[in-house]
Structure 1
Amino acid sequence: MKTLLAEVRACRLCEAHLPLGPRPVVQLGERARILIIGQAPGTRVHETGIPWNDASGDTLRRWLALDRTVFYDPEQVAIMPMGFCYPGRGKSGDLPPRPECAPAWHARILAALPDIRLTLLIGQYAQRYYLGQRYPTLTETVRHWREFTPERLPLPHPSPRNRYWLTKNPWFEREELPALRARVHEVLKS
């Protein structure tokens, strides 16, 4: 794992396309039982090198009912985004994750994580890559979360910008979040 982590952190595959330069942000531990696959780091995560170290991470930890100690323990929770580095800013927010990371790294990382019991697929990029285009929208994919459990759970992005989505989809907090929390704690206790 140390060798793989060193290789990931030294990656310069898409350096020419990164406005802040490469800084791959992942969290990996051989005994991790939960894997979080999100989009790509934002500027604050890029600055600190700590995944989900922003308002979105605060919401995600609340959704999971995990404190920072457990969340940032790589032997419990692994974190592997679709794009490992900050992709830059677009007209309406951050750009999509760079397309090079997942094909270059994900299979190798997954092979090094033999104890994963639950994978959280956060946002449309992770869901399309790992679940395919089974449903036309993120909302429909997340609405059908029961089809993917107990091994995978699709989630919306926990960004503060998604407050409107949460308001329009109250079933998420009422139905999926309690099931998510129960599954997370079941996996961590096993």
Structure 2
Amino acid sequence: MSLATDLPDLLTAIRACRLCEDRLPHAPRPVVQAAPSARLLIIGQAPGSKVHASGHAFDDDSGDRLRDWTGIDSATFYDPALIAHMPTGFCYPGKGKGGDLPPQPACAPLWHARLLAALPGLRLTLLVGQYAQKRYLPRGFAPNLTEAVHRWRDAPEGLFPLPHPAWRSRMWMARNPWFEAEVLPDLRERVRHALRG
């Protein structure tokens, strides 16, 4: 079977996954978007409550901020022929004391390799937040998220580390003005290049 034939079955299996059902506060609703032709992959953390309700990745204030950072309009962002969304955890993990709980740890080992194998056209992968970075950046690449983002030029080819675009990122950006001045222009250029036909 071709990757194009396998991917619909894989997406159906991911969306039907109930592996972590007993550890989630709501019924599982895995959020994923992909097509074999996708050129850009966004690996985020896990859906928030608004994304859980809508079923669309980054369908919230964080998504507005991420689209602004990347220069991607909403129509392009949700076009699976161009952009794939593969969170570290596919389901909303629920609320903790300081915000959403971490992604369920079983998702990525179960699904990521298979999904990546079905996306042969990828040119750029955005690692949004610490969970994606810990999984895909080399061990010891940076001691924390800020340093990982600050070393974006040193990341392995095709990978681009970003902070999570939650509301707290505004305060983080104020403390790290180099992000807006240096990182975002390069990010937008790389995204344009990746999406160019």
TM over 0.5: yes
Deviation of the 1:149 alpha carbon: 5.8
Match of 1:77 in 2: 83
Matched, 1:129 2:135: yes
Amino acid at match of 1:158: P
Secondary structure of the corresponding residue to residue 13 of structure 1: coil
Secondary structure of the corresponding residue to residue 28 of structure 1: coil
Quick check: 1:82–1:102 contact (8 Å CA) kept in 2?
Answer: yes
Q: Distance between the aligned counterparts of 1:62 and 1:162, measured in 2?
A: 13
Deviation of the 1:133 alpha carbon: 3.5
Output the TM-score relative to the length of structure 1: 0.98
Equivalent runs, 1:43-122 vs 2, <5 Å = 43-122=49-128
Structure 1 residues without counterparts, runs of 5 or longer = none
Q: Distance between the aligned counterparts of 2:55 and 2:82, measured in 1?
A: 19
Deviation of the 1:69 alpha carbon: 0.6
Q: Distance between the aligned counterparts of 1:82 and 1:108, measured in 2?
A: 14
Aligned residues: 190
Match of 2:171 in 1: 164
Output the TM-score relative to the length of structure 2: 0.94
Q: Distance between the aligned counterparts of 1:39 and 1:98, measured in 2?
A: 10
Equivalent runs, 1:168-179 vs 2, <5 Å = 168-179=175-186
Structure 2 residues without counterparts, runs of 5 or longer = 1-6
Quick check: 1:36–1:81 contact (8 Å CA) kept in 2?
Answer: yes
Match of 2:14 in 1: 8
Secondary structure of the corresponding residue to residue 160 of structure 1: coil
Q: Say what the alpha-carbon RMSD is for the aligned residues.
A: 0.9
Q: Percent identity?
A: 58
Moved over 4 A (4+): none
Deviation of the 1:150 alpha carbon: 4.4
Match of 1:36 in 2: 42
